[in-house]
A and B are shown apart, each in its own frame.
Chain A
Amino acid sequence: MWQKIYLYFFIIAVLVFSGCETTTTQVYQQRFQQPAASSDPVAAGMEMVQRSPLKDKVLWQYRTALTAMRYGRFTEAKQLLDDALLTLNAMMSPDKNARKARGIFGKEEQKVFIGEPYERAMAYYYRGILYWMDGEPDNARACFRSAQLMDSDTQNKTYANDWVLFDYLDGLATVKLGGDGSDALKRARQSAKNFTPPDYDPQANVLFFVEFGPGPTKYATGQYGEQLRFRTYQSPVKSAAIKIADATIRIYPYDDLNFQATTRGGRVMDYILANKAVFKETTDNVGNVAIIGGAVLASRRETQEAGLATLGVGILSKVISAATTPAADTRDWNNLPQYLGFAAARMQPGRYTINVEFYNQFSTLDGRFNKTISFTVYPPPRDTVVFISDQSITPMNL
């Protein structure tokens, strides 16, 4: 009788597993590989946006948009960020993949990537810069407000809404639109740690958004990689200066992404993953005990049937354990900066070429990052926005 049962089980198992999507797996792996090295990283990023599975599309849109901004290709950056923010804003809708990601057998990385709150905030921040660049300070302000909101549900409320620049720029846009930005300025100064942002100058018509240093990345720890952690790096650059003819504008880091990424506290998903890890470990242990016990019982003729049943339970438990996936999602927006700086200046309309220098922690010039940027200052009332990264191409003609 047992032989028949085994044979039946075997046939069923073979039939079931023959349906496994090995081809799809291979295709998926091929699709997720980085494209060949290209002299045009924006085009390569665009290709990844097209080629990547839906769940990773926003990730590639984030990365590529920032690369595009560093290459002065703002139209492409706008398109990418608009599309990414559409996905981000639609996350209130029921999502099958998100539900699966929470399930015992689902992987967290199955869900559509929209990033951790600091990544979402940065997507809004960059879109805000681009809106201001297009002469829409009110839409820019809307983005800065949404960016700040992304940081509002921290576990420790001390660290909620504590991005300095988002509030500062919210207030500056309000001042530019004829409103009162004093509340926003006050909030920005309360959040400031090492450097306090200056008073607003409503006549300042050129806005310099400067960023430098490597931003945080993610990794997983724990027995099953169920604990999400952030890896931070020591930035070689701590401040910057913009040189326009004889004038120098110092740029200080008002916001630190390492700080923002690591002060969020636990996520709801962390508890889910911790529970998955406990479940995985328990079913694994039960499986071990049952297999060993079952094998011992099965070796004796009088307890053979009970032993085989126990063995079956053990194997089932091991299979369930193997299929449980508590690993944290470590996909990250890996080209973010560490520091965000800002300065506003009054400049006459016309064509300018500026040099941007970056300094280390000892305020010594690090010549590796020097930039030369040419741009045109618009006549009033439109503001001119200049985006500068230590990773920007140089020279850049805007």
Chain B
Amino acid sequence: MKKSGTILNLGIIVGTILIGAGCASTVKNPSGVPVTVMRPDEQGFVAGTGIESQDLVAVTDKMARGILSCPEIMRAQGTPRIVLDPIINETRFPINKDIFLERIRAQLNEKAAGKVRFLARDRMNTLQRERTLKQTGQVTSSSDPNVVEFKGADFFLTGKLSSLTTRTSQGTSDYVLYTFQLIDARTSEIIWEGSAEIKKQGLEDASYR
């Protein structure tokens, strides 16, 4: 009698454990991560070895300061006109190339108090259309529309992004060199050049290696 009771008890234990073991313990309800507001110059918790917002901010701040301290800009007679020329991406990271020059332009426009002026060459189609409308009398004009008033560039601001990458079983290392130049449109002289270097290393989780 006692032996059968023990066997019964054992059966209960084994049964509950086996049932429990069959439960889908791997399925879970992901709780998510609450939205975190961050400064663009700080590294987030989602990071790679590529070009990120903190790099953009650091590099463009440095370049904007460099341009303003350039003698040709500081001591210019009149206000120099600058045109942005798309940067060349030689890294392994596909990027929105305009974003670097756009931030430099915005920084200079915000903080340089009219020391330089940028020409909106990327809006030329719109500007030309408006001028044509004025010339044909379809819209009013505050000046003679037949006089060319579109300014020519004194300088071109451009740059290049280059990189070196190493990847081994120990991880991935990415070095990116950012160089920007201000080129005299008349003489082709590079009147100013600034550079910044950023190196990052990382290693994926072992489950991805």
- Which residues from chain A sit less than 8 Å from chain B, CB to CB? 2-3, 6, 9-10, 13-14, 16-17, 20-22, 24-25, 28, 54, 89-95, 98-99, 101-102, 105-108, 110-111, 114, 127-128, 131, 136, 138-143, 145-146, 149, 152-153, 177, 267-269, 272, 298-299, 304, 308, 311-312, 315, 319, 322-323, 325
Contacts and interface: CB of A to CB of B under 8 A. Distances in A.
A261 B27 CA distance: 30
B208 A91 contact: yes
Nearest to A96: B30
A226 B191 CA distance: 62
A325 to B, nearest CB: 8
B25 A10 contact: no
B14 A131 contact: no
Interface-central residue, B12, B29, B94, B169, by most chain A CB under 10 Å: B94
A102 B25 CA distance: 16
Given A20-B23, A89-B50, A138 B97 contact: yes
Contacts, number: 151
B140 interface: no
Contacts of B203: 92
Contacts of A136: 94
A98 B91 contact: no
B168 interface: yes
Interface string B163-178: 0010111001000000
A304 B7 CA distance: 11
Given A90-B46, A92-B203, A93-B46, 13 more contacts: A13-B17, A21-B24, A91-B208, A98-B205, A98-B206, A102-B207, A111-B205, A127-B94, A128-B94, A152-B168, A272-B206, A299-B3, A319-B17
A138 B12 contact: no
A6 B13 contact: yes
Give the one of B49, B167, B172 with max A CB within 10 A. Answer: B167
A21 B27 contact: yes
Contacts of B5: 3
Contact of A91 (B48, B90, B92): B48
A91 B21 CA distance: 32
Contact of B14 (A17, A98, A106, A315): A315
A134 B6 CA distance: 76
Contacts of B28: 21, 24
Given A138-B88, A142-B94, A90 B47 contact: yes
14 contacts: A6-B12, A14-B16, A17-B16, A25-B27, A90-B47, A91-B208, A114-B208, A138-B89, A149-B92, A149-B165, A269-B206, A308-B6, A311-B10, A319-B17
Instruction: Give the residue among A24, A106, A111, A268 with the most B Cβ atoms within 10 A.
Output: A268
A142 B89 contact: yes
A272 B27 contact: no
A192 B157 CA distance: 41
Contact of B23 (A22, A93, A105, A299): A22
Contacts of B26: 106-107, 110, 325
A94 B48 CA distance: 11
Interface of B: 3, 5-6, 9-10, 12-14, 16-17, 19-21, 23-30, 45-50, 88-95, 97, 165, 167-169, 172, 202-209
A64 B19 CA distance: 39
B9 A2 contact: yes
A269 B209 CA distance: 6
A298 B165 CA distance: 65
Contacts of A25: 24, 27
- Give the residue among B20, B49, B91 with the most A Cβ atoms within 10 A: B20
Contact of B6 (A20, A89, A105, A298): A298
Given A142-B94, A315-B14, A319-B21, A101 B47 contact: no
A2 B12 CA distance: 13
Contacts of A298: 6, 10
B97 to A, nearest CB: 7
A16 B20 contact: yes
Contact of A24 (B19, B29, B89): B29
A168 B19 CA distance: 58
Contacts of A102: 205-207
Contacts of A312: 13
A105 B165 CA distance: 36
A177 B162 CA distance: 14
Nearest to A53: B30
Contacts of B208: 91, 98, 111, 114, 269
A139 B20 CA distance: 52
A24 B28 CA distance: 8
Contacts of A89: 48, 50
Taking each of B19, B20, B27, which has the highest tally of chain A beta carbons within 10 Å of its own beta carbon?
B27
**Quick one: which of A21, A99, A105 has the most chain B CB within 10 A?**
A21
A153 B168 contact: yes
Contacts of A114: 208
A192 B31 CA distance: 48
Question: Which 8 A-B pairs give the minimum distances between C-beta atoms?
Answer: A20-B23, A92-B202, A98-B205, A145-B92, A25-B24, A13-B16, A139-B94, A268-B209
A228 B135 CA distance: 72
Contacts of A142: 89, 91-95
Contacts of A3: 5, 9
A299 B203 CA distance: 55
Contacts of A93: 45-48
Nearest to A270: B209
